[in-house]
Amino acid sequence: MYQDLLNYSKTKGICLVIVSKTRTNEAILEIYELGQRVFAENRVQELVRKSQELPSDIKWHLIGHLQKNKAKHVVPIADMVQSLDSLQLAKVLNKEAEKCDKRLKVLLQIKIAGEESKTGYSYGILREEIDELLSMEFLEIRGVMGIGTFTSDEEVTRAEFQTLVDYYKELKTDFFPESSQFETISMGMSGDYELATDMGSTMVRIGSLAFS
């Protein structure tokens, strides 16, 4: 299935991120051999281990909630942290990135699902804090990320995706008018990546389908 996803992403001009959480190194290498270089993990320990065991030209994204005290393990190895969800975390990431002398790519993870369990910035708080986020020299804010409600009801998902796209457009207009870097909308997983792409996603995060 990976090959179909690769063709799809090329045709649509979107970035395909393969979510490799819980997968074995062997399974990941099979997809790597087909040319895939961007993989994502949601847990720090697993990210660190796999980054040591797998080829060094893999670009690792973190997509799970990150605790501040674990940021120091992530910054040296991550190409991008998609799950920036608080000012406190941003401060720590910025400090660690400075130590590594790198600019860390981040996405603003915004809460779009009604469910309480989902992490992410509340949009209102994000807008209050964004000036401070923008002042952080070692973070490169590349766009937004959202996780929809886990549901088979397409209308629910559609409404949540539309919310994320609207947030992105507002942020772009208000805070990144000149930026050529604030261009990413990370939205869509195995069950809804086509809907997400049709609605404006530029980056999909796909796990189960890619390994099936």
What residue ranges bind ligand PLP (CB under 6 A)? 19, 21, 42, 63, 147, 189-191, 205-209
Instruction: Count the Cβ atoms, other than its own, within 10 Å of residue 134.
Output: 12
Residue number with CB closer to ligand PLP (51 or 205): 205
The smaller minimum CB distance to ligand PLP, of residues 119 and 179, is found at 119
Q: Give me the least distance between CB of 102 and ligand PLP, in Å please.
A: 23
Cα 53 to chain centroid distance, Å, stands at 22
> At its nearest, how many Å lie between ligand PLP and the CB of residue 117?
12
- CA distances 153 to 112, 163, 187, 188, Å, are 15, 16, 16, 14
Which candidate, 167, 178, 207, 202, places its Cα nearest to that of 191? 207
| Smallest distance from ligand PLP to CB 145, Å | 8
Least Å distance, CB 147 to ligand PLP, is 5
Residue closer to ligand PLP by CB (options 22, 134) is 22
At its nearest, how many Å lie between ligand PLP and the CB of residue 64?
Answer: 6
Measured from each CB, the residue nearest to ligand PLP is: 207
Nearer to ligand PLP, 143 or 207 (CB): 207
Burial of 15 (C-beta count, 10 Å sphere; 0-12/13-18/19+): middle
Burial annotation 193-207 (CB, 10 A radius, 16+ → b, else e): bebbbebbbbbbbbb
Q: Closer CB to ligand PLP, residue 18 or residue 136?
A: 18
Residue pair 127/153 in contact (Cβ under 8 Å)? The answer is no
